[in-house]
Structure 1
Amino acid sequence: MLIVMTTDGDVLLRLAGEIDDLGARLARVGTELRTVQADAAPTPAETPQAPAEQEAPAEQQASAEQQEQKAQPQPVPAQPQQPVYPYPHHAQYQQAQYAHAQAQQRWQQYQQQYRQPYQQYQQPRPPQQPYRPYQPVPKVTLGEKLSKEGVGSRLLAWIGGAVTLLGVVLFLVLAIQRGWFGPLPRVIGGAVLGAALVGIGLRLHRTPAGRTGAFAVAATGIGALYLDAIAATTMYEYLPAYVGLAIGLLIAVGGLLLAVRWKSSLLATAVVLGCVVCAPIITQGFTAELVAFLLVVQVASTPVQLRQSWPSVAVAAGIPPLVASVFSTAFTGFGGSTANTAAALAAGGVGIALALIVTAKRPGDAAALALLAVAPAPSLLAALFLPKTPAVLVTATVALVLLGVWAAGQWLNGWTGDLAGAAGLLAALQTTMTLFDGSARSAILLGEGVLLALVALWTKKHVALFGGLGFAVIGGMIALAFDVPPTLFFLIRNRPDADLAAALLVAVAILAVSITLPWVAHRLGLFKAASENVVPWLLAGVCGLYGAGAMVLCGALLAVPGRSGFLVGHVVITVSWTVAALVLLIRGIAAVSLRVIGFVLVGAAVLKLVLFDLSALDGLARVAAFLLAGLVLLGAGTRYAKLVASR
């Protein structure tokens, strides 16, 4: 009994201490609430002030009430009658609970009135991450990889599978050469062997210790089944082409699904490589049928590429059809064939479609982007061996598809649209080079360069601008070699009017592209002003002067044939340069770049007068060139001096 009383006394003492602590906290909360209320009260300018005689008794009364509250607990107003407890501490505890509830209610009102309206302007700070020093990932050498436990057994198993698959292929070839068995027993035997190997692989995979061998055995069996389907279709012709392709598709899909189920990228890669490497041996070379069977493997690997990010599978399945198509085109030779062209188009189309599907799900996938970049190569190469009309149809089809993908670039992510645009421009270039010849080729190329520059200005795509630069460079080189060669300015020779008209058109295109490309590059922010970056502007100016000079000279020769037209043309060129320099200098009063170009053009005109006109021209033409150019330069200097002085 004494122990029980002692225990109750200890509990009561602890309870009394907690109540005292709670009372002190409530007192602090009350003080804070009164301070907040005093801050929120209206200013003296807005409310009438009470007389000092009335304020003093109120303050004294408030202080007296605070002292009474500290001395004894304040009775709870409008509360139901509290039960009488045998211990006084219970009553104090109930009163403290009520006071705490009142304080919480006042605190919530304070938050709703003052703090919550400002919480919407407070931005939470992100949690600070602890500083972690950069630690480079150590590189694992080949020796360390081979020294790991279990690597030797896996290596032996895969080598054994590859050798076994190659042995099956060699046995089929030898059986054909020696006449062993018959065609049907060979096909049935190959199917039985492949199915048996797959079954052994499934059985070995049940135990963790046998999974290494299970992967190699299953991959060997799937490869044997696929090669058996190829042999039955191409060598023995037991199956039609579409049936053989369908069976091959089922076998490849089954093997890849097994790899996904076992979560092994190595097995998936081995299945693809097993079907790819040995197929040319069965088809006896690179043919259109081989390309078709390799495309079947590529199509079968698409679900795996969408579900798993296995670059090795994408490369192993995507590159072989393109390589086989290239070799098939090379072995076919000039003239081509319908089957080879169809296989090349199919290889490119399937590659582009699968690359777009993968990049739509995983933007920036390196394997898919690489496949998109090289997919048009077989079709463009096959077009080189075809006659003109079929070649133009093939390249134009590829260009339209890729440029359509590029036009839809706003719905594509990453580099997909830019790569498609670059490949499409390459196909368009080949189409232009195949379709046109003579002066029309260079003029069309230069015109396409201007058009692409304007497209770049409209779409803000740098690929279009660089493509326009490529078209302009190629077209300009062709023009310099055939249409407007440098000898046009030095040698007088009789040229047909048709050739002069074509050269005039090419010269106009050179002048247009020389103006358009740098202007668009400057608008897109790739070129700075001429005062800050002189080299590209100077190069563009030289090309523009060349085009303008060729345009004037060809026009003069068309108007006045022979030597007279040649002399008149050079006089007009010299005078036009000086006039252009005058215009640039006047406009360049407030623009440094125009002023620099104007002075450069003045120097070019003077050099032409001294180095060329003085020796090449004679008689009235020489006098006219010097007089007119001198008068223009004199007037330019006088006018320019007045403008500078008036500033």
Structure 2
Amino acid sequence: MNTQLQDVRRLEAEFADAMNRMYAVGNGLARMRASLEMEQGSPAPAPTPAVASDVPAAPVAPVASGAPAAPVAAMTPVPAASATPLPRVEPVPSWWQREGAVTKVLALAGAVVTLIGIALLLALAMQQGWFVPELRVTLGVLLAVGLVIAGHVVRSRETSRGRSSAAPVAIAATGYAAGYLDVVAVTTVYGWVPRTAGLTIGAVVAVSGLLLARRWDRQLLAALTVLGATFLAPVVAEGFGDAVSLFVVVLSAAALLAKGDRGWPMLALARTVPAAGSIFLGIVFSAGDGSPSKVAIIAAGTLTLLALVGAVSAGRFDSHDLVGSATVAGSAITLLIAFGAHGETLRTTGFGLVAAAFAVALAITSRPPVGPVPTPLAATTGGVSGVAALLAVMSGAPERWVVTGILITALGYAAAAVTTRSRVTLWVATGTAVVASIAYLGHPTAYFSIGSAEQHDAVTALLDSLLAGGVAALGAWGVDVVRGIPARLRRSTRIAALIAGLTTSAVGVVSLGLIFGERLGYTQTGFVAGHALATVLWMLTSAWLLLRGLKAQAHRDLALRLGLGLAAVSVVKLFLFDLATLDGVWRVAAFIVTGLLLLASGTAYAKALERTRPPTAAA
């Protein structure tokens, strides 16, 4: 009996093991099927529940002799983990396989080629005398009207079928550009209508095409119309000149009125950059003939104003706009070149007006209700103002006062930065201050020897030193009051301002010595006296910094370092320069006074340091 019971238990264990093996095989087949279906891209059906292969056999409870055998424990089936198919990566199609790409390329190429052909036909017909002028113009008008009508027909058919492509856009743009070229021809070549009337008709044609672009909401139509007419107007007019410059400006104005550059950066570039290039070429050709045109100034000024208005409009629409800054910079450069091609009076006046106009524009656009505009546009506006101001000074100031004018310009922008507390104005002031510093370096370098100092203009050196010191002081003040300047930059600016102040003070003292020496007939004595006094002045400044460092808790470390550094510089100047340059009583006086100041500074510093210590530490 016991033998039979053992056999039953053995069979139950073998049966459970066999079941586990069968479930393991089922799980393996399910995983293989899911993998194959995922590779073929078809969804995998839900897997059949199965028991994991590592499920142990159910134990059989021991039974007493004569008792019935305990049933095999029910095997709980464990569902296999469903395999999540990975997303299928679709291959990236080539550019010509993308929807509408081929149509767009062909439409653009067709528009460009057709416009060039029309322009060449008009020019060749005039050169060869084909047809009568009236017939040429009539055929051109019919072709332009036909292209515009064809564009509308193609678009209506595409809209009815639920499609949209670049074909009708290119066709209509070609028609409007061709019509504008016809207007250019009848105005500049045939002279049938006065220039004012021709510009008015051209504006009507351009506005109608650009309003259609706005109605269709297609930037491509507007850009093609403007680019085609701008680039091919010189071909029809057989050269660059005042008429072409005015026509491209009218076209730019029409484009601005149509959209205002809001959200259409490609149109902003199309209406500004080629027009600026056309005006520039007109300036070059007219200047080469020896008669620079004043009409180019009007055209460039109008284009600059349009670019600025469009950039402000786009900046209010998009705070990260960069295209507006580029268009303003390009048109402003053309305006400066237009003024630069003329004589000194008009050139200097023009530069000054541009500087003032852009300074006012910066002030208006930096705050509500117009601004604030994007920072790149504000920086471009201020930069143009600074560059124009410097050009005005260098163009119109007498040679003796050029550096003085540059320093006055830098001083004005530094004062504006302090008043407005604008970071952009502070950047402009920094740029002009750098230029002014470079220009000012001619004064200190002239005072290294008595020979060059005698030939130098001490009066302008003294005046420029006062102005340069003011620029340094206002610059440091501006960095302190303008928000958002890092602390490290503030500290560096204070150090630079101190160095500039020491340099300008030394130049100013030596200049005073030279002025009095020349009046008294002792130029060399005035030179050496000025240098000796400059060394003493530096030592006095060093002592002041050391004592101030003990009182100013916020800037104690900086003041102490600057004071010790300045004392070291004074001693180095005393031994390396004064000892070799000064002679007689001035050398003795410089050494004695400097030494006494060093001793006095050390004693005063020790007493001041003792007073600043706590009583317990002093005890």
TM-score class, shorter-chain normalisation, is 0.7 to 0.9
Please tell me the residue identity of whatever aligns with 1:462. Answer: R
AA matched with 2:424: V
Residues 262 and 317 of structure 2 are in contact (CA less than 8 Å); yes or no, is this contact kept in structure 1?
no
Name which of 341, 352, 356 aligns with 2:312.
356
1:164-213 superposed Cα distances (whole Å, 9 cap, x missing partner): 22111111222122221121211111111111222222222221179643
Are the equivalent residues in 2 in contact too, given 1:588–1:594 (CA < 8 A)? yes
User: Deviation digits for residues 519-554 of structure 1, max 9, x if unmatched?
Assistant: 431343666678x98654444333222211110001
In structure 2, what residue type is equivalent to 1:491? I
Alpha-carbon separation, structure 2, partners of 1:384 and 1:148: 50
**What code does the residue aligned with 1:388 have?**
E
Give the 3 Å change call, closer, same or farther, for CA 617–369 of structure 1 in structure 2.
closer
Note if 1:613 corresponds to 2:572: no
1:556–1:568 Cα contact (<8 Å) kept: yes
1: CA distance, partners of 2:353 / 2:509: 39
Counterpart for residue 396 of structure 1: 352
Which residue in the other structure is 1:158 paired with? 108
Tell me, yes or no, if structure 1 residue 171 matches structure 2 residue 117: no
Corresponding residue SS for 1:413? coil
Give the 3-state SS of the residue equivalent to 1:492 in structure 2: helix
Kept in 1, the 8 Å contact 2:383–2:428? The answer is yes
Q: Corresponding residue for 2:465? A: 507
Range with greater deviation from structure 2 (147-156 or 463-472)? 147-156
User: Is the deviation greater in 378-387 or in 507-516?
Assistant: 507-516
Q: Is the 8 A contact 1:294 1:321 kept in 2?
A: yes
Going from structure 1 to structure 2, the CA distance change for 1:533 and 1:229 (only over 3 Å counts) comes to closer
The worse-fitting range, judged by mean Cα deviation, of 247-256 and 444-453 is 444-453
Q: How far apart, CA to CA, are the structure 1 residues paired with 2:578 and 2:188?
A: 75
- Cα gap change, 1:199/1:523 in structure 2, threshold over 3 Å: closer, same or farther? closer
Once the two structures are TM-superposed, the CA of residue 626 in structure 1 deviates from its matched residue by 0.7
CA distance, structure 1, for counterparts of residue 196 and residue 490 of structure 2: 62
2:445 to 473, 486, 489: 486
SS at match of 1:278: helix
CA contact (8 A) 1:269 1:312 kept: yes
Query: For the Cα contact (< 8 Å) 1:305–1:314, is it kept in 2?
Result: no
In 2: Cα distance, 1:340 partner to 1:252 partner: 21
- Take 2:260 and 2:532, find their aligned partners in 1: how far apart are those partners? 69
Does structure 1 conserve the Cα–Cα contact (< 8 Å) formed by 2:314 and 2:321? yes
Alignment RMSD (CA, Å):
2.7
Matched-pair contact (CA < 8 Å) for 1:379–1:395: no
Aligned-partner Cα distance in 2 for 1:417–1:150: 39
Match of 1:406 among 362, 369, 373: 362
- Cα distance change, pair 528–238 in 1 and its aligned pair in 2 (3 A): closer
CA 1:238–1:140: 2 relative to 1, 3 Å = farther
Counterpart of 2:507 in structure 1 is: 550
Aligned to 2:389: 428
Tell me how far apart the structure 2 counterparts of residues 354 and 636 of structure 1 sit (CA, whole Å).
62
Q: Does residue 603 of structure 1 match 2:548?
A: no
What amino acid is the match of 2:125? A
What residue is the counterpart of 1:465 in the other structure?
426
> 1:401 Cα deviation (Å)?
2.1
In 1: Cα distance, 2:211 partner to 2:475 partner: 52
**Pairing partner for 2:557 from 561, 567, 592:** 592
SS in structure 2 of the partner of residue 205 of structure 1: helix
1:434 & 1:485 partners in 2: Cα distance?
A: 24
* Matches of 1:214 and 1:523, distance apart in 2: 57
**2:595 maps to amino acid:** G
Q: Distance in 2 between matches of 1:308 and 1:453?
A: 34
SS at match of 1:181: coil
For structure 1, which segment, 500-509 or 454-463, has the greater mean C-alpha deviation from structure 2 after superposition?
A: 454-463
Contact 1:286–1:328 (8 Å) recurs in 2 = yes
Question: Which residue matches 1:24?
Answer: none
The corresponding residue for 2:153 is: 203
Instruction: Provide the residue aligned with 2:65 in structure 1.
Output: none
Identity of aligned residues (%): 30
Alignment of 1:228-267 (within 5 A): 228-267=182-221
SS in 2 for 1:337: coil
Shift in Å at residue 281 of structure 1?
0.6
1:608 positional shift: 0.9
C-alpha separation in 2, matches of 1:386 and 1:544 = 39
- Contact 1:347–1:378 under 8 Å retained in 2: no
Q: Match of 2:447, SS?
A: helix
Q: Is the 8 A contact 2:421 2:481 kept in 1?
A: no
Maintained 8 Å contact 1:298/1:317: yes
SS of alignment partner, residue 588 of structure 1: helix
One-letter code of the match for 1:355? A
Matched, 1:332 2:290: no
Paired residue secondary structure (1:489): coil
Shift of 1:418: 4.6
Largest Rg, 1 or 2: 1
2:479–2:490 CA contact under 8 A, matched in 1: no
Structure 1: give runs of 5+ residues left out of the alignment: 1-137
What is the deviation of 1:156? Answer: 2.0
Distance 1:451 1:216, change over 3 A: closer
CA 1:576–1:598: 2 relative to 1, 3 Å: same
Matched residue, 2:410 = 449
Alignment of 1:383 with 2:339, yes or no, is yes
Structure 2 Cα separation of the partners of residues 180 and 428 of structure 1? 53
1:373 Cα deviation after fit: 3.6
Distance 1:179 1:365 in 2: 49
- Secondary structure of the equivalent of 2:441? helix
* Residue pair 1:446, 1:509 contacting (<8 A) in 2 also: yes
* Corresponding residue of 2:57: none
Aligned pairs (5 A) from 1:8-157: 144-157=94-107
CA deviation after TM superposition for structure 1 residue 414, in Å = 2.8
| Shift, 1:228, TM fit | 0.9
2:298 is aligned to 342
Among candidates 244, 247, 271, match of residue 290 of structure 1: 244
CA distance in structure 1 between the aligned counterparts of 2:94 and 2:195, rounded to whole angstroms: 48
Instruction: Indicate the residue corresponding to 2:55 in structure 1.
Output: none
- Alignment match, 1:314: 268
Alignment equivalent of 1:641, drawn from 590, 595, 606: 606
Question: Partners of 1:432 and 1:269 in 2: how far apart?
Answer: 40
CA distance in 1, matches of 2:470, 2:483: 20
Q: Check conservation: 2:413, 2:426, Cα contact below 8 A.
A: yes
Q: 2:43 corresponds to which residue?
A: none
Aligned partner letter, 1:475: A
Task: Pick from 527, 530, 534 the counterpart of residue 566 of structure 1.
Answer: 527
For the structure 1 residues 527 and 233, does the alpha-carbon distance in structure 2 shift closer, same or farther, using more than 3 Å as the test? closer
Instruction: Provide the rounded CA distance (Å) in 2 between the counterparts of 1:140 and 1:470.
Output: 52
> Cα offset for 1:556?
0.7
C-alpha distance in 1 between matches for 2:121 and 2:485: 66
> Contact between 1:522 and 1:528, CA under 8 Å: does it hold in 2?
no
